Structure 1
Amino acid sequence: MSPTAPRSPVAIALVTALASFTIVMDTTIVNVALHALAAEFDARLTTIQWVTSAYVLALASVIPAAPWAMGRFGARRVYLSAIGVFVLGSTLAGLAWDAQSLIAFRAFQGFGGGLITPVAMSLVLRAAAAAGGGRQGMLMSLSGLSLLVAPALGPVFGGWLVDEVSWRWMFLVNAPVGALAVVLGARIIPADEPGRAGRLDVPGLLLLSPGFAALIFGLTRANESPDGFAAVDSWLPLLLGLALVGGFVRRALTTRGPLLDLRLLRHRPLALGLVGLLPFVMGYFGSMLLTPMYFQLVRGDTVMESGLMTIQLGLAAGVTMQVAGRLADRVAPRWIVLPGVLLAATGMGWFTLVAEVGAAEWELRTSLALLGVGAGATMMPSITAASRSVGAADVPAASTLLNIGMQLATAVGAAVMAVLLAGRLGGTGEDPAARADAFQGTYGWAVALLLLAAVPAAFLSRRPPARPDAVAGGARSEEAADEASEIR
């Protein structure tokens, strides 16, 4: 394929899905192996926890710079370089000789991983626009397949690697997959010239990145400490993070050329999509963090068995996402996202009710599959509807806003659910029935968060997307009219 030949948007979406799958799979694999790593390095679990925390902190700190980096160096170059950094970090982590070196290499890995998802989303949206529009939903569903499928497959694959091969291959397996993603990306993703990025908003970066990292740190410490959010090393970083992020918001709304243009949230679909995704992501991913623990602590399953019990969730989510993505190009977003949220809440509620010691396996599997169907109909259609409201020049900033929101919601959801569960598990001892009650009480909060996402979903547009052959101006005018009519 020559450098000037037209690229297939579907091929671009599939290539970005490969790299994103590696990122998400890596995170879920590591989560199930923390106890094994603690034993391997003879380290305390609170120390090994930083194998995950250092990665997340590094990832969070680099995401805000994605729009500037794409403008300064070009999206394709940034994307391929980010994959290269991630692969190098993965290889070094697989060769780590003690807990401290592993934590350091995981942080290096996070610097690459943080740029991959927002840049990938921008590449897919640009490819859809270059192809004439009208296929954003389908392309986003292909690119985002890893977001819902990898968390279900990760525990199974990770359990097998830890039990049968070696913990080192949790990281080394990323090298060949990442190398393939770089080769395919260099061949398929079209080259783009750096634009007018302007100066990097260094004060904004020094406010947002440390603020975001402080929030993640505080949430992580709340998860690790027996005092939860009452611990000084939890609430103090949280307050600092909120102050820094608040300072960034004030600067972003008052200065020219901010790091992230928060004025984009004036676009009603973008604001509604982001507001709806926050509680949904908190409830969904927070509950998914607890589910393997439920199967292990209450039912006595092994790591691999617990992963196999949740695999239908990822499969249902992946299949539904492909159908919902295609519908999102023809059907009004309200009539896809709202039923999706309600289905997810129903599945989570059903699982909560039956998650007892002697629960029937078919009920557990069916309720999780229903949750997966709802998640597949909610997340990518929400992102697609949100991103349609901005022009091509604002796509990098919009995709970064969505990614920052989802990363923070994932971290908040995981920490809050873990703290709530830890509080309920205290004093239950080895009693499976008492443990089941603790999980059910915690899952109730996840159901509430999923239902909360139905409120903004009910205010999404009732009109189908503009026709693919509509001119850009006409499409924008139709969208503006739609927003005005909905407000009235």
Structure 2
Amino acid sequence: MEATIHQPAQDGAGKPFKVVPIMIALLISGFIGLFSETALNVALTDLMELLSITPATAQWLTTGYLLTLGILVPVSGFLLQWFTTKQLFVASLAFSILGTLTAALAPSFEVLLIARVIQAIGTAIMLPLMFNTILVIFPAEKRGAAMGIIGLVIMFAPAIGPTMAGLLIEKLSWHWIFWLSLPFLAISLLCGILFMQNVSKITKPKIDLLSIVLSTLGFGGIVFGFSSAGEGEGGWSSAKVIVSLAIGIVALILFSVRQLRMKNPMINLRAFKFPMFVIGVATVFICMMIILSSMLVLPIYLQSGFGMTAFSAGLLMLPGGIVNGILSPIMGRLFDKYGPKWLVLPGFLIAASALWFFSDVTPASTSALIIVLHSCLMIGISMIMMPAQTNGLNELPREFYPDGTAIMNTLQQVAGAIGTALAVSIMSAGTSSYMKTANNPNPIDALTSGVQNAFLFGMIVALAGLALSLFIKRVIVKGHKH
């Protein structure tokens, strides 16, 4: 391992990094950001009743959050070059605390939606900052383990979110999802103020407003278009969906052309010259589609098909989440030792098999079967996600880190929007076609038919990932020429 790209972990002033406190501050804030994101999903059914809103309106609490991330994360690579790590960290937490406090006090849907957008601004700054910091403070041979710990946090938050939310809704009220998060955010802010050091180079590149506008229209249009299609009003053929997707695609093409022509682009798309980075991005994209579509379909089915409460549905999904959280750091260490191929390939095989079995689930299936299948799916995901991501980012020279993390994190948000929208529309289409064609149709049988189709879609996506994983090679980090 050479020293030009991975100098000993020191900040700009030549002081060694305080790795443990920096990691603690990043992990707590990342955990809470993702916890409140998934915890609210379970509360949506109750919120519809309490705030008397329709499912399509309630969906905006998730869509608005994703949309804000889709718009802001691409700009993050740029922010990392303009502001110090500490400034961005404190700004991110200030937004998160303000948004969480507003949500905890929210008297109406409108206020809650504004609070979600403020929270998302905090998360949009935090996610790329977290990955970029890890790339700088850890040498390549230790990154797998560090990314594994982040994986534990990133996957553990969505896993316990639904269970905790179910319990809080049952015993207290939905406001407590946010009150619970506030003290942790305050601790994280304190850790950041005391220990955070600057890890990135401040180069202050010129601000190109046209790039920001095109990126906003591009990523925003695509996330909005897919999310609207998932809402079910007119589905894919509605004018809103077609226009949003068309604007998004055209703006993205113009954005890409502009970035490649600029001397100092907002996001340096030349990162795509590195083949393992491209495969890493594509693998993570597929993985996010699988996670978010199954995380949405399964709780709906457990509550509407099996007639479970939010808390019971959350409990049933908890073992899988815990398994994933425990395995993430182990997979990280295995990746450091053996490279990505022998983790990612079997990971996709396990995930595809679990989804295939899920496509046969009916309300007569036992809880034990659901727990086993969900745990197998989560084992597969833990073998894919962090190894593919770390391997892809390892191939980039240091000056590409902000761009690489911005590209990865942006496409994860887009994948989330696309995965959930496709899963919801496949589920709705399957349900309504069953209702039309069956004699004496039963709503639960119709829902089962839709859910089975959605899991088959997940399996096809996983098989595409399996084909892609055949081309993954370990990146050996050595003398990058600068």
Fold conserved between structures, TM > 0.5: yes
Closer, same or farther: CA 322–192 of 1 in aligned 2, 3 Å = closer
Report Cα offsets for 1:93-147 as digits up to 9, x if no partner. 2212222222122222221211111111001111103xxx310000011123232
Kindly indicate whether the alpha-carbon contact (under 8 Å) linking 2:349 and 2:463 is maintained by their aligned counterparts in 1: yes
1:383 aligns with 2:383: no
Q: CA deviation at 1:45?
A: 3.1
1:198-217 equivalences under 5 Å are 198-217=205-224
Instruction: Classify the secondary structure of the residue corresponding to 2:337.
Output: coil
Return the match for 2:414 from 397, 408, 415.
408
1:341 aligns with 2:348: yes
CA distance in 1, matches of 2:426, 2:452: 11
Report Cα offsets for 1:162-205 as digits up to 9, x if no partner. 22111112223222111111112233332347611211222111
1:78 aligns with 2:88: yes
TM-score by length of 2: 0.92
Report Cα offsets for 1:257-299 as digits up to 9, x if no partner. 1110111111111011011222222122211211011111221
Closer, same or farther: CA 459–434 of 1 in aligned 2, 3 Å = same
Report Cα offsets for 1:431-453 as digits up to 9, x if no partner. 43332222112110001101111
Kindly indicate whether the alpha-carbon contact (under 8 Å) linking 2:271 and 2:396 is maintained by their aligned counterparts in 1: yes
Give the equivalent residue in structure 2 for 1:367: 373
1:36 aligns with 2:43: no
Which letter does structure 2 place at the counterpart of 1:394?
F
User: What do you get for the CA RMSD once the two structures are aligned?
Assistant: 2.0
Kindly indicate whether the alpha-carbon contact (under 8 Å) linking 1:330 and 1:465 is maintained by their aligned counterparts in 2: no
Give the equivalent residue in structure 2 for 1:173: 180
Give the equivalent residue in structure 2 for 1:485: none
Give the equivalent residue in structure 2 for 1:141: 148
The answer for unaligned runs of 5 or more in structure 1 is 467-471, 478-488
CA distance in 1, matches of 2:443, 2:47: 27
1:159 aligns with 2:159: no
Closer, same or farther: CA 250–411 of 1 in aligned 2, 3 Å = same
Q: CA deviation at 1:411?
A: 0.8
Give the equivalent residue in structure 2 for 1:484: none
Give the equivalent residue in structure 2 for 1:469: none
Closer, same or farther: CA 233–394 of 1 in aligned 2, 3 Å = same
CA distance in 2, matches of 1:226, 1:67: 35
Q: CA deviation at 1:398?
A: 0.5
Return the match for 1:244 from 237, 243, 251.
251
CA distance in 2, matches of 1:41, 1:307: 22
1:331 aligns with 2:341: no
Kindly indicate whether the alpha-carbon contact (under 8 Å) linking 2:236 and 2:242 is maintained by their aligned counterparts in 1: yes
CA distance in 1, matches of 2:233, 2:213: 31
Closer, same or farther: CA 193–51 of 1 in aligned 2, 3 Å = closer
Instruction: Classify the secondary structure of the residue corresponding to 2:359.
Output: helix
Instruction: Classify the secondary structure of the residue corresponding to 2:307.
Output: coil
Kindly indicate whether the alpha-carbon contact (under 8 Å) linking 1:352 and 1:440 is maintained by their aligned counterparts in 2: yes
Return the match for 2:35 from 25, 29, 33.
25
Return the match for 1:299 from 298, 301, 306.
306
Give the equivalent residue in structure 2 for 1:65: 75
Kindly indicate whether the alpha-carbon contact (under 8 Å) linking 1:216 and 1:411 is maintained by their aligned counterparts in 2: yes
The answer for unaligned runs of 5 or more in structure 2 is 1-10, 436-440
CA distance in 2, matches of 1:372, 1:359: 19
Give the equivalent residue in structure 2 for 1:107: 117
Q: CA deviation at 1:4?
A: 7.6
Give the equivalent residue in structure 1 for 2:317: 310
Identity %: 24
Closer, same or farther: CA 225–439 of 1 in aligned 2, 3 Å = closer
Report Cα offsets for 1:335-367 as digits up to 9, x if no partner. 1211111111122222223x1121122222111
